[in-house]
A and B are shown apart, each in its own frame.
Chain A
Amino acid sequence: MTTKELDAIRAQKQQLIDVRRLVREQAEEMAKHTGYRKQVLVCGGTGCTSSHSKQVIEHLEKTLKEMNIDDVLVVKTGCFGLCTLGPIMIVYPEGAFYAQMTPEHVETVVRQHLVKGGSIVKELLFKDTLHPDGSITPFAETPFYKKQMRIALRNCGVIAAEDIEEAIAAGDYAAIEKVLTSMTPDDVIKEVLDSGLRGRGGAGFPTGRKWSFAKASAGDVKYVCCNADEGDPGAFMDRSVLEGDPHCVLEAMTIAGYAIGAHQGYIYVRAEYPIAVERLKIAIGQARKYGLLGKNILGSGFDFDIDIRLGAGAFVCGEETALMTSIEGHRGEPRPRPPFPAVKGLFGKPTILNNVETWANINPIIMKGAKWYSSIGTERSKGTKVFALGGKITNVGLVEVPMGTTLRDIIYEIGGGIPNGKQFKAAQTGGPSGGCIPASLIDTPIDFDNLVAIGSMMGSGGLIVLDEDSCMVDISKFYLEFTADESCGKCTPCRIGTRRLLDLLTKITEGKGEDGDIEKIEALAEHMKASSLCALGQSAPNPILSTLHHFRDEYEDHIKNHHCTAGVCKALLSYSIDKEKCIGCGLCARNCPVSAITRTDYTAPGHKLASFAIDPAKCIKCGVCMTNCKFKAVERK
């Protein structure tokens, strides 16, 4: 394909995409030129698919056909970000945001809204888009979206993820066109360097520097790799990009190939992401067909192709040398550096590896320039960051905000705060390599360096909100269980150290902690940081060190008083029934899985039936009695 043909595709479909991006009035005007009266976008990402969006799409198409409506375009997109509300359906040009759709709801929307002369079905809208006065707020103006700035996620939820022409119309492949027609490899690297872009996968290494090292390495065979082994539990932005805009990754990798002199790329993607893998396969197939991958791309004489390699469930393969060892078909064990991958990486050749979100920033940097990009964010962290909000927060989902946005804005403005009236206790960032940020630091502007300074790290962008019901010792233990399980076992400090840390934490959560345990934990944690072979082992103690720093009293409380404030550590709990409050209904006894509750011969004054009591020897501390008691007679200590 030639650049002319590419431009033609873009021009042809441009208006279709613009309808989805413009404000309502302009969109309605624009829609008249597209041939489609309405466009219905339904999320086909993993979150909404899990909430059965497939049935929604099928039902939508079927109903439209039954009613002979042929001027409505149905588009299966990637993630809109608000996964709790799935399946999500947006109707343009109005931009009506329907949430939690069912086939019945679809039927209603078709009959009342999509038919000629129809109007928005207000009762099915996402409630934040419905103003109390009955008017409709564009969803871009809702608290969840208003403070966001979508660069990496620019096309997610906007385009049909399996249609390369929509991707082209939305701007994908414009950057490779620009690069191949008007930029030298050095120009490309300079642009990326000047943008200040830092790797979004964890450590935040400047992307441009990585590329310039690889370019400087001698050799005619080099590789470009994409790390899509998003293993950080609770982070799913890379998956969303792959599901929503796979072409932006292919394009960016091709640009990097041109910049460093590589002709082959590999995408290492988790096998646990079947939809992302499928969309990538489709995207690669289409890109090859359109001549945007393969020989002589856009007539430039530059060759580049990409293959997919599937991970098989090993978190350590997110580490760059382990990932390469895994692509080579071995146990995913990291290798010592130097030699660095830029010198000697995959199959012993110079290699660059960036993660999906990093790649997603390349097109805008090339198109809008380093100056624009570096104007966003903070002094040393440029651009935006995507966070996966999870845990005890109202709006679970994906958000993209400029670097430097405060935690408070993310949690309370965008995230909608803590549900059920609970108190915010801490936010965990960086997953198993990161740490916990206490409520006192909620106004910290989030960027790479600030997070490190307060004992956490950016990681891939998982942001788990913890409330008063979360025990910080238990959270540390959870992460240590994870890293102990995921340690590759190659180096001593990580192989045995993670287990010993876990042993010590288990001891504390079981009420067997003793004086000196905290000091032992600290000594071992420092040892692992200093002496482990790779970043997994070096950062595995972070969750403990940060919680010890900010919540040391909780550890001490567990050890000295055998007490868990959050009521999480079972061994430290005891359940009892307040015989004065118990009315003797027996609901607790009937639901007790181990028959630990029996009736006593005491009847409280004012009650008709004798009260119940828990046999502590039999009790397994599951808490079922407490949940079932309607009279708050069961107490936990």
Chain B
Amino acid sequence: MEHCEAKCGTAEQEKALEAVIEASRSTPGCLMHILQEAQGIYGYLPMPVQKKIAEGLGISLSEVYGVVTFYSQFSLNPKGKNRISVCLGTACYVKGSDKILEEVEKELGIKCGECTADGLFSIDSCRCVGACGLAPVMMIGDEVYGKLTPDKVKGILDSYKEANK
């Protein structure tokens, strides 16, 4: 995974971030919005990005970092090309989504919150995507996989591995 710590990513990314900060800085309470946009640009929120935001808004880095670490959607680590999110909401849990998560972890050899060495997958858990009717579910990117059983996991992951070849 290539990313430059000293600079804020590529020139385009940096320009996009600057534009977001410039456009929102005068809106009260804009920090969350800027962080969401920044995460959209970079995929995660590394130190140089947070520093740039802190500087742009005239607030301390620890305030930015405090907000980033408070909300579970903000990530300090790069995510995989395919972001897997296993729902551990109630409806999914009672239908055994913990076993789905275990299976995904086993299949990829990483734990929840981690990214595979080849950068292809990262696993997270989430609380209810609202697709309770299909419980248990997991999302890969924007794609929802419902009514899962542990034995379906491998096939789904393989299709992504295949697509990447």
Q: Quick check: do A and B touch in the complex, using CB within 8 A?
A: yes
Interface on A for B, CB 8 Å cutoff?
A: 46-47, 49-51, 82-86, 230-236, 239, 271-274, 309-315, 326-332, 347, 388, 390-392, 396-397, 428, 431, 462, 464, 466, 470, 475, 478, 482, 488, 593
A314 and B130 alpha carbons, distance in the complex (Å)? 16
A86 and B137 alpha carbons, distance in the complex (Å)? 14
- The chain B residue sitting closest to A390, CB to CB, is B91
Q: Are A396 and B73 in contact (CB under 8 A)?
A: no
- The chain A residue sitting closest to B125, CB to CB, is A485
- B155 at interface by CB-CB < 8 Å: no
Chain A residues near B120 (CB-CB < 8 A): none
Max chain A C-beta neighbours (<10 A), residue from B35, B91, B95, B126: B91
Decide yes or no: A83 and B134 within 8 Å by CB, A312-B36, A464-B91 being known contacts.
Answer: yes
A331 and B128 alpha carbons, distance in the complex (Å)? 22
Max chain A C-beta neighbours (<10 A), residue from B28, B95, B127, B128: B128
A505 and B128 alpha carbons, distance in the complex (Å)? 23
Chain A residues near B130 (CB-CB < 8 A): 46-47, 230, 236, 239, 272-273
Q: What distance in Å separates the Cβ of B60 from its nearest Cβ neighbour in chain A? A: 13
Segment from B5-13, B64-72, B108-116 that makes contact with A: B64-72
Q: Are B94 and A392 in contact (CB under 8 A)?
A: yes
Would you mind naming 28 contact pairs between A and B with Cβ atoms under 8 Å apart?
A: A46-B130, A47-B131, A47-B133, A83-B133, A85-B133, A231-B128, A233-B89, A234-B89, A272-B126, A272-B130, A273-B130, A309-B33, A310-B32, A310-B33, A310-B36, A313-B71, A314-B70, A314-B71, A329-B33, A331-B67, A347-B29, A390-B94, A396-B135, A462-B90, A464-B94, A470-B94, A475-B94, A478-B90
Q: Which of B66, B93, B137 contacts A331 (CB 8 A)?
A: B66
Q: Which of A46, A232, A271, A315 contacts B36 (CB 8 A)?
A: A271
Chain A residues near B131 (CB-CB < 8 A): 46-47, 50, 83
Q: Are A312 and B32 in contact (CB under 8 A)?
A: yes
Q: Are B36 and A390 in contact (CB under 8 A)?
A: no
- The 8 A CB mask of B66-88 against A (1 = contact, 0 = none) is 11001111100000000000001
Chain B residues near A593 (CB-CB < 8 A): 106
A347 and B30 alpha carbons, distance in the complex (Å)? 13
Q: Are B90 and A390 in contact (CB under 8 A)?
A: yes
Chain B residues near A332 (CB-CB < 8 A): 70-71
Q: What distance in Å separates the Cβ of A436 from its nearest Cβ neighbour in chain B? A: 12
- Interface size class, chain B: 35 or more
- B156 at interface by CB-CB < 8 Å: no
Decide yes or no: A234 and B36 within 8 Å by CB, A84-B134, A312-B72, A314-B70 being known contacts.
Answer: no
Q: Are A482 and B127 in contact (CB under 8 A)?
A: yes
Q: What distance in Å separates the Cβ of A197 from its nearest Cβ neighbour in chain B? A: 24
- The chain B residue sitting closest to A266, CB to CB, is B29
Q: What distance in Å separates the Cβ of A225 from its nearest Cβ neighbour in chain B? A: 12
Q: Are B72 and A46 in contact (CB under 8 A)?
A: no
Q: Are A329 and B32 in contact (CB under 8 A)?
A: yes
Q: Are A50 and B137 in contact (CB under 8 A)?
A: yes
Q: Are B90 and A488 in contact (CB under 8 A)?
A: no
Chain B residues near A49 (CB-CB < 8 A): 144
Q: Are A397 and B90 in contact (CB under 8 A)?
A: no
Q: Are B71 and A391 in contact (CB under 8 A)?
A: no
Scan residues 119-165 of chain B and give those whose CB is less than 8 A from a CB of chain A. 126-135, 137, 142, 144, 146
A232 and B130 alpha carbons, distance in the complex (Å)? 10
Q: Are B73 and A51 in contact (CB under 8 A)?
A: no
Chain A residues near B137 (CB-CB < 8 A): 50
Q: Are A236 and B67 in contact (CB under 8 A)?
A: no
Chain B residues near A331 (CB-CB < 8 A): 66-67, 70
Q: Are B128 and A236 in contact (CB under 8 A)?
A: yes
Scan residues 45-77 of chain B and give those whose CB is less than 8 A from a CB of chain A. 66-67, 70-74
A289 and B155 alpha carbons, distance in the complex (Å)? 47
- The chain A residue sitting closest to B150, CB to CB, is A624
Interface on B for A, CB 8 Å cutoff?
A: 28-33, 35-36, 66-67, 70-74, 88-91, 93-95, 106, 126-135, 137, 142, 144, 146
Chain A residues near B70 (CB-CB < 8 A): 314, 331-332, 488
A82 and B134 alpha carbons, distance in the complex (Å)? 11
Task: Kindly list 10 other residue pairs between chains A and B, CB separation below 8 angstroms, not including A236-B128, A392-B94, A478-B90.
Answer: A47-B133, A49-B144, A83-B131, A83-B134, A271-B36, A272-B130, A312-B32, A312-B73, A397-B133, A464-B91
A84 and B146 alpha carbons, distance in the complex (Å)? 10
Q: Which of B90, B93, B146 contacts A50 (CB 8 A)?
A: B146
A231 and B129 alpha carbons, distance in the complex (Å)? 10
- The chain B residue sitting closest to A623, CB to CB, is B99
Q: Are B36 and A428 in contact (CB under 8 A)?
A: no
Q: What distance in Å separates the Cβ of B82 from its nearest Cβ neighbour in chain A? A: 17
Chain A residues near B88 (CB-CB < 8 A): 233
Q: Are A328 and B91 in contact (CB under 8 A)?
A: no
Q: What distance in Å separates the Cβ of B97 from its nearest Cβ neighbour in chain A? A: 11
Q: Are B134 and A326 in contact (CB under 8 A)?
A: no
Q: Are B91 and A396 in contact (CB under 8 A)?
A: yes
Q: What distance in Å separates the Cβ of B163 from its nearest Cβ neighbour in chain A? A: 18
Q: Which of A51, A85, A235, A239 contacts B146 (CB 8 A)?
A: A51
Q: Are A327 and B29 in contact (CB under 8 A)?
A: yes
Leading 6 A-B pairs by shortest Cβ distance: A83-B133, A233-B89, A390-B91, A312-B71, A50-B144, A329-B29
Q: Which of B33, B73, B135 contacts A313 (CB 8 A)?
A: B73
- The chain B residue sitting closest to A327, CB to CB, is B29
Q: Are A47 and B134 in contact (CB under 8 A)?
A: yes
Decide yes or no: A330 and B67 within 8 Å by CB, A84-B133, A391-B95 being known contacts.
Answer: yes
Chain B residues near A47 (CB-CB < 8 A): 130-134
Q: Are A83 and B132 in contact (CB under 8 A)?
A: yes
Decide yes or no: A271 and B90 within 8 Å by CB, A50-B134, A231-B127, A391-B95 being known contacts.
Answer: no
Q: Are B36 and A233 in contact (CB under 8 A)?
A: no
- The chain A residue sitting closest to B134, CB to CB, is A50
Chain A residues near B72 (CB-CB < 8 A): 312-314
Q: Which of B30, B71, B95, B127 contacts A233 (CB 8 A)?
A: B127
Q: Which of B32, B90, B127, B133 contacts A326 (CB 8 A)?
A: B32
A390 and B144 alpha carbons, distance in the complex (Å)? 18
A314 and B70 alpha carbons, distance in the complex (Å)? 8
- The chain B residue sitting closest to A489, CB to CB, is B70
A327 and B31 alpha carbons, distance in the complex (Å)? 9
Chain A residues near B146 (CB-CB < 8 A): 50-51
A180 and B63 alpha carbons, distance in the complex (Å)? 43
Chain B residues near A462 (CB-CB < 8 A): 90
Q: Are A329 and B128 in contact (CB under 8 A)?
A: no
A47 and B95 alpha carbons, distance in the complex (Å)? 16
